[in-house]
Structure 1
């Protein structure tokens, strides 16, 4: 049986591994639009990290903005928060569980959100 602290640590470690492998942030959407779709890249425009779809696709622009907002710096901050929550649970017992943190960890881990 997996403990809450274990779930929190697993999610934090997964995020950190993904962050280490990803193009460093912050990210931004391209200025305006391009003929083939919306794109996301580094703020200095040296690297492009995602294309979200054709200009005509209803949610393409919103998807690009969302991806840009969730860059590796955000993931690192979430991972740090999850690590703190795991520490709290280990040292203060099950009553210290922040259910929101556990829901985030489970979403990251691909498990059931209770």
Structure 2
């Protein structure tokens, strides 16, 4: 069974790899009107004429804010949790692992954030 520090480091590595492979942020959510009619939620990056589509969440709806499909809330969340946030979360997990090991080396009971360990386990698929 892995130690808490090993769980934290594995999750940090996984998150860091995914964040590095993703298109650089920042990302933002956008309500896009389709030429054929209807609306869809999208995730964009870039500014001005450099804007690029990163994700498209179809709603199959002609209502601009059809909450029953939750596409806009999902697109906002995806944009919020872009690669910049992923890199920072990975660093937080590594820092927490460092703290855990430092306490252990000092002969003290290891201190591990329950929140950090929960995040690590979710990322590692152990939750």
Scaled by the length of structure 1, the TM-score of the pair is: 0.88
Q: 2:114 aligned to 85, 99, 106, which one?
A: 99
The offset of 1:41, in angstroms, is: 1.2
Give the whole-Å Cα distance in 1 for the aligned partners of 2:46 and 2:119: 27
Aligned residues: 111
The offset of 1:55, in angstroms, is: 5.5
Bigger radius of gyration among the two: 2
Q: Which runs of 5+ in 2 are unaligned?
A: 62-67
Alignment RMSD (CA, Å): 1.6
Q: Which runs of 5+ in 1 are unaligned?
A: none
Pick the structure with more strand per residue. 2
Q: Is the 8 A contact 1:52 1:64 kept in 2?
A: yes
Q: Is the 8 A contact 1:29 1:65 kept in 2?
A: yes
The offset of 1:58, in angstroms, is: 2.3
Tell me the secondary structure at the aligned position of residue 51 of structure 2.
Answer: coil
Scaled by the length of structure 2, the TM-score of the pair is: 0.80
The offset of 1:95, in angstroms, is: 3.0
